[in-house]
């Protein structure tokens, strides 16, 4: 079975992908994580776009290990804030704590004219030295007025997907995985690997 690594230090992202992977029984691949090879290097995220950051993460891992891998960069774009926090989503507030990030975002939207927002995800797949591919997904919705912490991570407690009444934090991972930006992008990656006979 082919081994493939998910280059992430975000346990929530990893959990979402693992649950999706297991429930869809992709038996052709063995999905591994950084812990499996005790990979502890700090991975750079100095790009100017989701795509550049996703590429930096996969390149960094591949150059060190020469193992096939994929990485993901994601974030929230808020219309009223001209697309912010975008690539800075995980470090929007000084503390970088997700509660502080959400509080800062809500306080910047007090005089809002729109609460439209999108969650974006870009995966970078690096199979070998020369073959690198990208897959994108997005989820449209709006920013709630209250923070409702229940499940999930990041901005889940304030993101209400279109056609939903509740925030992402109020639905379980299986339900989130049916609509999320991350799974939309990841499905394209899996389909690509299946078609390539990886």
Binding site for ligand ITT (CB under 6 A): 8-10, 13, 45, 57, 72-76, 89-90, 119, 152-156, 168, 180, 182
Q: Identify the active-site residue in 36, 38, 41, 73.
A: 73
Residues 105, 154: contact at Cβ < 8 Å?
no
Q: Residue number with the shortest CB distance to ligand ITT?
A: 154
Q: How far is the CB of 71 from ligand ITT (least distance, A)?
A: 6
The pair of three-digit structure tokens given for residue 41, joined into one six-digit string: 């290097």
What does each C-alpha distance from 123 to 18, 66, 83, 188, 195 come to in angstroms? 15, 18, 20, 9, 17
User: Residue 159 pairs with which residues in a beta bridge?
Assistant: 143
Which residue, 72 or 170, is less far from ligand ITT as judged by CB? 72
CA pair distance 181, 186, nearest whole angstrom: 9
Extract long-range pairs of 21-25: CB within 8 Å, 24+ residues apart.
23/174, 23/177, 24/190
Which residue, 181 or 190, is less far from ligand ITT as judged by CB? 181
Which residue, 28 or 178, is less far from ligand ITT as judged by CB? 178
Residue 73 annotated among the catalytic residues of the structure: yes
Q: How far is the CB of 27 from ligand ITT (least distance, A)?
A: 25
Q: How far is the CB of 6 from ligand ITT (least distance, A)?
A: 9
Q: Which residues are catalytic?
A: 73
């Amino acid at each position: 079975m082919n081994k493939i690594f998910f280059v992430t230090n975000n346990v929530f992202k990893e959990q979402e992908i693992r649950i999706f992977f297991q429930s869809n029984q992709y038996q052709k691949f063995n999905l591994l994580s950084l812990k499996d090879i005790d990979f502890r290097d700090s991975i750079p995220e100095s790009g100017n776009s989701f795509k550049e950051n996703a590429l930096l993460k996969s390149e960094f891992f591949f150059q060190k290990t020469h193992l096939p891998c994929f990485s993901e960069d994601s974030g929230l774009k808020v219309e009223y804030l001209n697309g912010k926090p975008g690539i800075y989503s995980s470090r929007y507030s000084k503390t970088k704590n997700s509660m502080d990030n959400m509080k800062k975002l809500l306080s910047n939207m007090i005089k809002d004219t729109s609460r439209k927002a999108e969650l974006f995800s870009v995966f970078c797949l690096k199979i070998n030295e020369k073959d690198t591919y990208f897959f994108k997904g997005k989820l449209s919705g709006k920013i709630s007025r209250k923070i409702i912490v229940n499940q999930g991570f990041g901005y889940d407690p304030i993101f209400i997907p279109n056609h939903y009444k509740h925030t992402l934090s109020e639905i379980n991972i299986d339900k989130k995985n049916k609509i999320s930006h991350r799974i939309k992008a990841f499905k394209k990656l899996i389909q690509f690997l299946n078609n390539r006979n990886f």
